[in-house]
Homo-oligomer: A and B are copies of this chain.
Amino acid sequence: MALGRGYADQDCSLARALEVVGERWTLLVLRDCFYGVRRFGDFHAHLGIPRAVLADRLKALAAVGVVERRPRTTGVEVDYVLTERGLDLWPIVFSLAQWGERWLAPEGSRRLFSHAVCGTDIGSGGACPACGTVPPPADLLIRQGPGADATLRDDRVSTALRSGPHRLLTDLFPAPAHTAPSGP
């Protein structure tokens, strides 16, 4: 919500935060960033967001330093990646998703997170029950839960997330290595 005229006359950090991440689609774009989505076309296909709105949101997020717009060395391609500010939004994305799982997912969890370093599923507070710490997003693996509905979307992001556990923040579609695994 960049909101009509914004929340300018609120003396409140929550209102300030909402001016940055409170608009329609913004938090879903950021969720995709945590999942490892980086390309304009992937956000577009995965979210079904109108191109104009996506362009606006990415521009606004880059302007406040939550994501960085990073043109690739070759071609017209651009990567959008989270900055330090953006990474710090993880508790917000996570707590919203957890609330949705707890109260709005009667069919069971759609997505499950586990601690990459010990393999334990993390608890509802975001902490790893085995380690007793709250792992940063880079240390989490995401995988499908029993409540996931495979019939809703079939863009390449959904397919990649369905195909198996994925480590947050790592590129979902890394460029193929110059030296292929089976040799040059």
Interface residues of chain A, those whose CB is within 8 Å of chain B, are 1, 3-4, 7, 9-18, 20-25, 27-28, 31, 47-48, 85, 88-89, 91-93, 95-105, 109-111, 125, 134, 148-149, 152-153, 158
Contact = CB atoms under 8 A, between A and B. Distances in A.
Given A89-B99, A99-B88, A104-B20, A15 B28 contact: yes
**Copy number of this protein in the oligomer?**
2
B22 A100 contact: no
B92 A11 contact: no
B16 A1 contact: no
A114 to B, nearest CB: 17
A100 B12 CA distance: 8
Contact of A105 (B7, B13, B148): B13
B92 A95 contact: yes
B27 A22 contact: yes
